[in-house]
Chain A
Amino acid sequence: MTFAIEALNVEKRYGALQALAGVSLAVTEGEFFGLLGPNGAGKTTLISIIAGLSRASSGSVRVMGADVVSDYRRARRMLGVVPQELVFDPFFTVRETLRIQSGYFGLRNNDAWIDEVIHHLDLGAKADANMRTLSGGMKRRVLVAQALVHRPPVIVLDEPTAGVDVGLRQGLWQFIRGLNRDGHTIVLTTHYLEEAEELCDRIAMLKAGRIVALDSTRNLLETFSGLVLRLRLDRATLPAGLDAEIITSDEGHFALRLRDYNALEQVLHQVRAAGATIMELELEPPDLEDVFLRVMGTGDTHVSPVLPLEKH
C-alpha cells in the first residue's frame, strides 16, 4: 500500500539541538491529517523535510511512494506546500506569480487551471495587482493558490489560518474541505485546536521532536479527555471519596473530571448521599484542547502503531 506521506525514524539535529528525535508516521491517501504541538515541537521542521526544504539527519520520507531525496522530482510534483510565513515576490502580480510557480513544475500551458484556482480562491479582482498591494488575507490565499498550481494529490498547510480573520478562515476551510472531498490528502498544522478537532480524521501530537500521541481524533478525545462536570453546591466542601478527579474547588464551585458518563451517575449519587444540594450543574463534552494540554502537560505517551487505524 502506498501512503500519501510516510516518515520513518526521521531525525534532525542542528548542532547540539535535536529538533526531531525519530519521528515515524504514515498518512493514508485521502486523509485529513492534523499535526499539532507547541511552538518548537518540530512541526515545521518535519514539514520542511517532507517538502525537501531541509534534509533529515537520518531516516527517510516518501511522498506517494517517492523518496524526497533520491526521487525528489516525483516527490515534489506530488506535494503542494503552503508555508507558514506570508512570503511573496514583490516584483510580480498575482497572475504572474501563479504562472511562474506553474512553470517551475514544468507546466507552461496551465492558464485554464490557474484561472480556476484564482476564481475558487476569490482572487479575480486582484489577479493583475502587484503582490505588494495585497492585504495579508489575500496574500495568504495566493500562497494557497501557489501550492495548487501543479494539482498535487497531497497538500500540506503550515498554520494557514494564523492571523487570518474569521470570515476568511471559514472560507479557506470550506475550500480545503472541498479539496479533501475531491480526494486530496491534507496535512495541517494549526494552533486553533477546535479547527483540528472539526476537520482532522487523525491527529499526531508532537512534543520536543517526538510523537507523543497519534490516533484518530475520536479515539484521542475518548482516551484523554473524559468529561468535565461543573457543580455549585450549597456547601464549601465536597463529600469525601468521590469517584472523580477534582480539577478546581472554589467556595462551593467545583470542577470535576469524569472518566465517562457512567461515572456521572455515581458522582451525583455520592453527592446526594452526603446530603448536599446541587444548585447548578453543567457538563462539558470532551474537547481537543483538553486532550492537548493533558498530553503535553503530563508527557504521557500513547502511540498507536505507525500504520494508521481504520478511519472512523
Chain B
Amino acid sequence: MGGFPTLLYKELLRFWKVSFQTVAAPVLTALLYLVVFAYALGDRVRAFEQVSYAQFLVPGLVMMSVLQNSFANSSSSLIQSKISGNLVFMMLPPISYVEFFGAYVLASMVRGLVVGTGVLLVTVWFVDLHLAALLWVLAFALLCSAILGALGLIAGIWADKFEQIAAFQNFVILPLTFLSGVFYSIHSLPPVWQAASHLNPFFYMIDGFRYGFFGVSDFPPLASLAVVAVSFALLSAACLLLLRSGYKLRQ
C-alpha cells in the first residue's frame, strides 16, 4: 500500500479540525440565503407547477454549497501547503501523481458533500421536500463535487498567492454559480440570457441536481448528465497531466 490512504486521511483531518469554518459557516450562509430569498420572493416567483419558491431554492442552495466547498477545499489546502512550504512532506515520499490527485479530489468531494448534506438537513426543517429520483441526486452530487475538487486542485497548482485563489473564487466560481439558476429558473430570463445560461457549465449541475428532487427541469437531465460527465473527464485529464509534468510542484 502506498501513501494514498494517509494523504486522504490528512486532507480530511485538515478540514475537519477547522470544521466550524469549513462546514458550519457555509451551512449558515446557505440558510441565510434561504430565509432572505424565500421571504422576499416567495409569493412572487414560481418556477415549476406544484413547486413553491422555497422548495425550488433548496436543491440549488445545496448544490451551490457543494460546488463552492469542494473547490475551496482542494484549492486552499494546496496553496497553503505551497506557500508555507510543507508541500515538501508530500513530495518526498513515494506518492504517485494519481494517488495525489485521488486523495485531494476525494477529500474535496467529502467536504462538499458534508456541507451539502448539512444544508439539506437544516433546510428541511423549514421546507417540505421529497426526492423524485435519488440516483440522479447522488450522481450529480458526486460528479459535480469531483469536478470542483479537480478544478480547485488545478487552481491550487497554478496559483502562487492566496489572492489568486480568492480572485478565482470571487470572479469565476461565485458569478458562475450565482448565474446558473440557483435562485431562478432560466425560463424566467429574456431569451438572450437564457441562451447565455446554456454556456455556463454550472447551469447543468444545478438543473440536473434539481431534476432529482422534482422530476422536472429546464434542460433534459440526461443531456445535463452528459455535459457534467464530459466536464469531469476533461478537467481530470488536465489535472492529471499537470501533476504528471510536475508543473509548479516539482520544478
Interfacial chain A residues near B17, Cβ < 8 Å: 91
Supply 18 A–B pairs (Cβ within 8 Å), ascending by A: A51-B91, A52-B250, A53-B88, A53-B92, A55-B250, A74-B94, A79-B92, A87-B85, A87-B86, A88-B84, A89-B86, A90-B84, A91-B17, A100-B89, A104-B89, A104-B90, A104-B93, A104-B95
Nearest chain B CB to A297 CB, angstrom units = 31
Q: Judge whether A101 and B9 touch: CB under 8 Å.
A: no
Q: Which of A72, A81, A91 contacts B94 (CB 8 A)?
A: A72
Q: Do A54 and B84 form a contact, CB below 8 Å, given A105-B3, A106-B2, A108-B6?
A: no
Q: In the docked arrangement, what's the CA distance between A103 and B92, Å?
A: 12
Q: Judge whether B251 and A54 touch: CB under 8 Å.
A: yes
Interface-centre pick from B18, B88, B90 (highest chain A CB count, 10 A): B88
| A-B interface pairs (CB < 8 A), number | 84
Q: What 1/0 flags go to B81-103 for Cβ under 8 Å of A?
A: 10011101111111110000000
**Size bracket of the B interface:** 20 to 34
Answer yes or no: A73 CB below 8 A from chain B CBs.
Answer: yes
Task: Using CB atoms, name the residue of chain B closest to A90.
Answer: B84
Q: Which of B3, B9, B18, B81 contacts A106 (CB 8 A)?
A: B3
Answer yes or no: A83 CB below 8 A from chain B CBs.
Answer: yes
Which of chain B's residues 223-251 have a Cβ closer than 8 Å to chain A? 246, 250-251
Q: What 1/0 flags go to B177-209 for Cβ under 8 Å of A?
A: 000000000000000000000000000000000
Interfacial chain A residues near B161, Cβ < 8 Å: none
Task: Using CB atoms, name the residue of chain A closest to B94.
Answer: A73
Answer yes or no: B13 CB below 8 A from chain A CBs.
Answer: yes
Nearest chain B CB to A72 CB, angstrom units = 6
Q: Judge whether B85 and A104 touch: CB under 8 Å.
A: no
Interfacial chain B residues near A74, Cβ < 8 Å: 94
Interfacial chain B residues near A72, Cβ < 8 Å: 94
